[in-house]
Every structure is written in structure tokens, then in C-alpha cells.
Structure 1
Amino acid sequence: MEFALCPDCLVETPFITGPVCQVCGIPVLGTTESESSIVCDDCLSHPRPWGTARAVLRYDKTAREIVLALKHGDRLDLVRTVTPWMKKLAAPMLKKNSLIVPVPLHPLRQFQRRYNQSAELARALSLAIAWPYAAQALHRVRATSSLDHRSREERFDLLRNAITADPDMVGDRHILLVDDVMTSGATLAASAEAALKSGATGVDCLVLARVEKDDPGV
């Protein structure tokens, strides 16, 4: 057994393997391009403010259960399970001046939830690889309504100017953003833009799970 997952659940866990978009990490099937040059249609149409993003799991089956349990079910024991998976993907993304930073929650949302699951993932990752971590580098300065059941355009509009960064923390640093799940990329984009605006030299993203197609219900 791997900590919080039984053997049967581990077998059903949808790890991302094979070619992925080098920008957003979404699996790309049927391509003849070399993996280092693959960019999906969505990223070609909508340029991202970060360099590259990677995800451990497809947001399906066991992965969906893990993310929802982390976010809403107080299952922080699952952090210990997924940290080694995230560590493998993080290693090639880190630079000498990298800082591991979680996507922030608004203080009211964090008070209601009692913790920020992205911060728990980022902190565990930093401990596992002995790398600098800054929980307060980014701030959600404007409360937004839930992104669930929102279109891509609505998500980006809601998050515009909702996140700021501390220049003293992110200035002249490469930022590795950590989040639990990526759907449209709106939250990661707002976070990356805030970091870059405050002097970060670059941003890459690492998420536990990736929705393969925009799902308004996520």
C-alpha cells in the first residue's frame, strides 16, 4: 500500500504518460512531432504567461477522488502519498534561483476551508527536495465567486487583478507555482502574471492533476 491508497486504487490512478504539450502539460495523442516541440492548439491560440507546466495525473477516476478529498474532505494524509509523484516532475523544472510558491486562496476561503491544499502540496514538495518555499509570496487580494461551472472566459475575467505578489520575495527569482488541479489555467495565469509583474525572472507550473478538456464543473 502506498500510504493513503490501497493497491486497487493505485492501479486505477491515471498517471500521465506519453507526449504532452510542453506549455500546459495536457496529454497529446497521435502526434509525430518530437516531444520537446509539442504545443497544443489551445496554447497556440491563447499564449500562457508561464514557460512550461506539468501534471502528474489526468483528472479522472482516482485522481478526481484524490483532488476532491484534498480540497474538501480534510484528507491531508494524501499529501504524503502524492509528494513523491510531484517530486519526480519537479526535479527538471527547478533552477538555482527557484522558489516554490503555492497558488493562494483568499483569506476568507482559507478560513472556511481551514487550509490551502495547494500550500500543503508545495510545502511537502519543498521539504522532500530541500528547496526554498514561500507560502506568502502570492496573495489573493480580491474574493471571487466559485469558478465551478464557469466558462473559460468567465474564469479569466473573474481572476483579473485578483492576485498580487510580494516583490521582496519573488524579485529576481524563478517561480515554480504549485496547485492541485489545472482546468483552463486561469488561476495559474493570474498567479504567474502577478509574479512576473513583481520581478520574477520566469514562472513554471506543477500541478497534481490536469483536466484534459475544459470542464465547467471542475
Structure 2
Amino acid sequence: MRFSPLKALLDIVLPPVCFVCDRPLGREPGLCMTCWAKLSWIERPFCARLGTPLAYDLGPEGLSAEAIADPPPFSRARAACLHDDISRELVHGLKYRDRLELAPAMARWMARAGADLVADADIIVPVPLHRRRLWSRRFNQAAALAGGIAACSGKPSNPAALVRIRATPRQVGLARDQRQTNVRGAFAVDAGARAEIEGRRILLVDDVYTTGATVKAGARALLRARASAVDVLTFARVVSGTGLPI
């Protein structure tokens, strides 16, 4: 990295601090060692289809009971970490407190966790917001993460390829079946992006995988537009038995 006198001066006047606890850091913004250690990173063994942690190793193609009983429309899903106190603080900071400086670091962690998915992707597409919600929030956190993954991987992205054609109530507080009903038919591929999607392997990006209702609906829309396959990459993942906190 090229030395920047201006950056060096700013680091002295306004030193980087931990994203979560504001503890001063040495050089680059990120997490302090304490907060880093508290994050529940998802490591192998995990389900080859859903990316959920497994109690024991079933091999590289091992599937969880959930993936066998209810196969998703997407091919593979991965997440960088479990949805816990630290990851929730990061997601909420980006999503609700306009902390866009979190997106590049979160995107790098996602790209590392889903390296095989990123390598296989032809194009990266974020889960979209409806235009009314985008207007009120001013930015789409999934698009910020997708852009960060594209920047660190060199893969192309199209933040406008998938559109939310129906304004849906927020998923927060809804049960699993209510979430599925809420987003059914909510997405479509933009007419101008159909040629770009057809025959391509799509990496669909969102911030949190809760029940999967949103990314499943998005994957179905992409597959209807003749994408060859859809993989899903999120920052955090809610696991069964922990409830639906978001």
C-alpha cells in the first residue's frame, strides 16, 4: 500500500477505532482483538448446500437434514459468521445507522468465507430494496456489500439487475411462514438485465440469512430469468433454535 502523508496525519489526529467498542486500533479500521474473538466465524464442517454449521464432518458434499428435507432453489449458501451480539452490531450499524465505512471490511470477510462461490460467479447481484424504502433509507446495505465484494474480487456486479416489484412489510417480527408469504412474488429481473442474467451463474448478496425466505424468493426470480444457477452469500447467518431476532 502506497504511503499517504495525509492519511498518516489523519490517523494521528483521528486514529482508527474498533467498529464495535470504539477501542483505538493500530493502523487500519476494523475490529479490536477482543471483539474479533467474540465473533462466531463459520468454519468447516458445514452443510454443503445451506452453509449451516454441522456437529461433525460429513465430508465436502455432506448435507444437513434441513437441506435434504426442504432443498432451496439456490445451489449453495455461505455466510461469514453466525448472527450474534457482535455481528448484529455491525449489521445494524450499516443498515440503520448509515455507517457505510463498515461495508468494505464486512465485504472482505464475506468474500473470504465464500471464496468458492465468488470464484464461480459470473456476476454479483444484491437483494434489492423497494424504491420507497430505498428513498427513505437512502442506500441499500446489500448493494454496498455486493459492491465491496466486487471491488476485492474483480468480479462484475449489477445492483439494478434484480428489482423489488412489490413493496412488502418489513420481515422483522414475522414467523417463518409469514416471511415466505411476505416476499412471494416480490422480485423480478429488470428487463434491461435479462440478457446479462441468462445463462450466467449469479452470486446473490444480502446482509443476513434468517429463514432464507428473501434470498429464496430472489433466487427464484433469477432462475425464472434463466440464470444457470444462483449462489447466496451473506455476512451473518441465523441458525435454527436461536429465534428470529431481526
TM-score normalized with structure 2 length: 0.83
Q: Which has the higher contact order (CA 8 A, sep 6+)?
A: 1
Query: Which of 200, 210, 214 in structure 2 is aligned with 1:183?
Result: 210
2:228 aligned partner: 201
1:33 aligned partner: 58
Shift of 1:14: 1.6
1:14 and 1:61 in contact (8 A); partners too: no
2:74 and 2:219 in contact (8 A); partners too: yes
2:125 and 2:159 in contact (8 A); partners too: yes
Shift of 1:216: 2.8
2:49 aligned partner: 23
Query: Which of 11, 20, 34 in structure 2 is aligned with 1:8?
Result: 34
Q: In 2, Cα distance between the equivalents of 1:142 and 1:105?
A: 10
2:137 aligned partner: 113
SS in 2 for 1:37: coil
Q: In 1, Cα distance between the equivalents of 2:139 and 2:41?
A: 26
Query: Which of 105, 109, 124 in structure 2 is aligned with 1:85?
Result: 109
Query: Which of 145, 167, 172 in structure 1 is aligned with 2:199?
Result: 172
1:106 and 1:141 in contact (8 A); partners too: yes
Between stretches 181-190 and 17-26, larger displacement belongs to 17-26
User: What CA deviation, in whole Å up to 9, does each residue of 1:195-215 have, x standing for no partner?
Assistant: 000010000011100001263
Shift of 1:98: 1.0
Counterpart amino acid of residue 244 in structure 2: P
Which of structure 1's runs of 4+ aligned residues deviate more than 6 A? none
User: What CA deviation, in whole Å up to 9, does each residue of 1:150-186 have, x standing for no partner?
Assistant: 1111111111110001322311111001110001100
Write out aligned runs for 1:123-202 (5 A).
123-166=147-190, 167-202=194-229
Q: Report the CA distance shift for 1:173/1:148 in structure 2 as closer, same or farther (over 3 A).
A: same
Shift of 1:101: 0.4
Please list every run of 5 or more consecutive structure 2 residues that lacks an aligned counterpart in the other structure: 1-24
1:99 and 1:134 in contact (8 A); partners too: yes
Between stretches 125-134 and 87-96, larger displacement belongs to 87-96
Pairing 1:217–2:245 present: yes
Q: Percentage identity across aligned positions?
A: 36
Counterpart amino acid of residue 176 in structure 2: R
Q: Report the CA distance shift for 1:32/1:207 in structure 2 as closer, same or farther (over 3 A).
A: closer
1:3 and 1:80 in contact (8 A); partners too: no
2:76 aligned partner: 52
Aligned pairs, number: 216
Q: In 2, Cα distance between the equivalents of 1:182 and 1:97?
A: 19
Please list every run of 5 or more consecutive structure 1 residues that lacks an aligned counterpart in the other structure: none
Shift of 1:76: 1.0
Q: In 2, Cα distance between the equivalents of 1:6 and 1:74?
A: 21
Counterpart amino acid of residue 215 in structure 1: G
User: What CA deviation, in whole Å up to 9, does each residue of 1:124-172 have, x standing for no partner?
Assistant: 1101111110011100000111111111111111111100013223111
Shift of 1:32: 4.6
Q: Report the CA distance shift for 1:92/1:129 in structure 2 as closer, same or farther (over 3 A).
A: same
TM-score normalized with structure 1 length: 0.93
1:150 and 1:217 in contact (8 A); partners too: no
Q: In 2, Cα distance between the equivalents of 1:152 and 1:145?
A: 14
